[in-house]
Amino acid sequence: MRIAIGSDDIGLPLKDVLADYLAELGIEYVDFGARDADPVDYPDVAKVVAREVRDGHFERGLLVCGTGLGMAITANKVRGIRAATCHDAYSAERARKSNDAQIITMGSRVIGPESAKTVLKAWLESEFQGGNSARKVAKIGDVERAESEYLPRASASVTRERDRRPGRRAVRPPPSQRPTGR
């Protein structure tokens, strides 16, 4: 198994612990994230790792930031990716078995190194079970495809967009109060 990993600068210490753990387990990985304490924005790392997994260069991905949430939100924006934030072994197992999550995210400010290893191991040892879960995962893909086809209409002005909100009525000034354009 090959895993793409990455973190921002906040997640770097935990990512390094988990990278060493992957090496102990004999799992090959490539690190696309922060290498030192210089600031790195988590969306930049999550996007790269998610695309690498989506494109089939890696079977799975591991992302670490402060909470794991920003990484998961960003990775889930990449079409075809299912990323789950997990801080306990049961959720990690279910993320794989029921949701076919290809990417796990964790928060360095939420979970300690030893617990993170336990969670990662549960996720690595789990495989998608199919069955009823396959139908549900397919529906996730259906939602993703339908939403990617939706393109909101661009508004001519922020004011007009605000006036279209539910409960608001667009008010147009009388002709005598409209700008003449000169």
- Span 132-141, pLDDT tens digits: 899 999 999 9
Type of residue numbered 7 = S
Q: Examine the residue annotation and report whether 86 is marked as an active-site residue of this protein.
A: no
Catalytic pick from 65, 71, 95, 106? Answer: 65
The Cα 82–Cα 140 span in angstroms is 9
The Cα 29–Cα 2 span in angstroms is 5
Burial (CB count within 10 angstroms: exposed 0-12, middle 13-18, buried 19+), residue 107:
buried
At residue 39, the pLDDT reads 95
Q: Does the pLDDT of residue 17 top 90, yes or no?
A: yes
Q: Does the pLDDT of residue 155 top 60, yes or no?
A: no
The domain segmentation of the chain, as residue ranges, is 2-129, 134-168
Task: For residues 17-42, give the mean pLDDT.
Answer: 96
Which pair of tokens denotes residue 3? 């895993």
What is the CATH T-level fold of the domain 2-129, as seen in this structure?
Answer: Ribose 5-phosphate Isomerase B; Chain: A, (3.40.1400)
